[in-house]
């Protein structure tokens, strides 16, 4: 098992300024981090990757698609922009040494049509992500589509749908993930949801119902960790927690109040929580 922390707790742009936090995460016992990929600067990501390697930390990465780069848009130019955004993000992963690029790569975050997903949108997403997966394969990166809850997207909103999408694309470099925050909202039975998708799951986000310290809220952690062990999961458990430090992210994630005493305490407690639950 590998234990990681998403750097979005501190920043959406990891630069040298945040290297002391990387050092702290290593000292606290983390195995790696998840890097936000929003600025496409290969030199910067190479520097970050070099720092991570010097610390012995692994990394994955996360990005999102916007309205102007939406893989399911009926506009071919917008879909092309979506493909371009994802391929650029893959290049940043390669520069940093990130093994996975995760996130709602299938559609624009926070964009709604007023209806459910259509067959045309499904086919558009399949086409864009199959092409992106070819680029990912050449860079030895795995794309990991993340389903979101119904308040953040409408295209993929359950483990079963995300797994079905990946099975249909049928590409070794396109898989899905399980996120405890979204599952807490959308799934009727967590264990069944996990089992239904597990042949396609390669990544896990550990996130509390209020996006703060895992273990301090009401996510069904008993079922979550019992099923992780039943399914013999041995990939990344990546903590995803958000705060108020990033106004744009706070607006997107609807975080309006501080949910924890400090980022350091959250990170330390989250790691201890995950290790304790996996050992039980």
pLDDT digits (tens, 9 = 90+) for 203-225: 999 999 999 999 999 999 999 99
Which two three-digit tokens encode residue 225?
């960790």
Global pTM reads 0.96
Instruction: Kindly state the average pLDDT of the residues 237-265.
Output: 84
Which two three-digit tokens encode residue 154?
């409408």
Question: 152 pLDDT band (50/70/90 cuts)?
Answer: very high
pLDDT of residue 70: 98
- Specify the DSSP element, H or E, that contains 175: strand 174-179
* Residue 238, helix vs strand vs coil: strand
**Cα 176 to Cα 178: distance, rounded to the nearest angstrom:** 7
pLDDT of residue 256: 85
Would the CA dihedral through 132, 134, 138, 144 be positive or negative? positive
| Mean pLDDT for the chain overall | 96
pLDDT at 200 over 80: yes
From 56-70, 87-101, 151-165, 241-255, the region with the lowest mean pLDDT = 241-255
pLDDT digits (tens, 9 = 90+) for 171-186: 999 999 999 999 999 9
Percent with pLDDT over 70 in the chain: 99
pLDDT of residue 27: 98
Q: What ranges do the domains of the chain cover?
A: 2-279
pLDDT of residue 266: 97
Burial class of 247 by CB neighbour count within 10 A (0 to 12, 13 to 18, 19+): exposed
Let me know: does 33 contact 11? Beta carbons within 8 Å: no
pLDDT of residue 158: 98
- The separation between the first and the last C-alpha atoms of the chain, rounded to the nearest angstrom, is 14
Instruction: Kindly state the average pLDDT of the residues 249-259.
Output: 79
Percent with pLDDT over 90 in the chain: 92
Which residues lie below 8 Å from residue 70, measured CB to CB, with a gap of 6+? 78, 79, 81, 82, 107, 108, 111
pLDDT of residue 243: 78
- Between 244 and 237, name the one with better pLDDT: 237
pLDDT of residue 250: 73
pLDDT of residue 100: 98
Instruction: Kindly state the average pLDDT of the residues 236-255.
Output: 82
pLDDT of residue 268: 98
**Cα 223 to Cα 220: distance, rounded to the nearest angstrom:** 6
Let me know: does 146 contact 162? Beta carbons within 8 Å: yes
**Cα 184 to Cα 190: distance, rounded to the nearest angstrom:** 8
CATH of 2-279, one of 1.10.3720.10, 3.30.1360.10, 3.40.50.920, 3.20.20.150: 3.20.20.150
Q: Supply the Cα-derived Rg of the chain in whole angstroms.
A: 17
- Between 69 and 251, name the one with better pLDDT: 69
């Amino acid at each position: 098992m590998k234990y990681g922390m998403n750097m979005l707790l501190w920043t959406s742009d990891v630069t040298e300024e945040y290297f002391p936090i990387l050092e702290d995460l290593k000292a606290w016992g983390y195995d790696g981090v998840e890097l936000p990929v929003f600025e496409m600067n290969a030199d910067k990501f190479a520097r970050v990757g070099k720092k991570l390697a010097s610390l012995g930390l692994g990394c994955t990465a996360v990005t999102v698609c916007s309205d102007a780069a939406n893989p399911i848009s009926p506009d071919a130019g917008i879909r092309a922009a979506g493909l371009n955004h994802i391929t650029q993000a893959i290049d940043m992963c390669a520069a940093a040494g990130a093994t996975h690029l995760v996130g709602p790569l299938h559609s624009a975050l926070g964009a709604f049509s007023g209806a459910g997903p259509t067959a045309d949108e499904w086919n558009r997403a399949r086409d864009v992500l199959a092409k992106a997966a070819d680029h990912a394969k050449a860079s030895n990166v795995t794309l990991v589509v993340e389903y979101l809850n119904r308040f953040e997207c409408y295209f993929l909103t359950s483990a079963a749908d995300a797994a079905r999408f990946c099975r249909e694309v049928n590409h070794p470099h396109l898989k899905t993930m399980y996120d405890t925050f979204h599952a807490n909202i959308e799934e009727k039975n967590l264990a069944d949801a996990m089992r239904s998708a597990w042949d396609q799951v390669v990544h896990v986000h550990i996130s509390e119902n209020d996006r703060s310290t895992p273990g301090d809220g009401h996510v069904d952690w008993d079922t979550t960790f019992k099923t992780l062990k039943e399914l013999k999961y041995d990939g990344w458990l990546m903590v995803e927690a958000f705060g108020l430090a990033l106004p744009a992210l706070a607006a997107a994630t609807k975080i309006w109040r501080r949910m924890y005493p400090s980022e350091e305490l959250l990170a330390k407690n989250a790691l201890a929580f995950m290790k304790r639950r996996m050992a039980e």
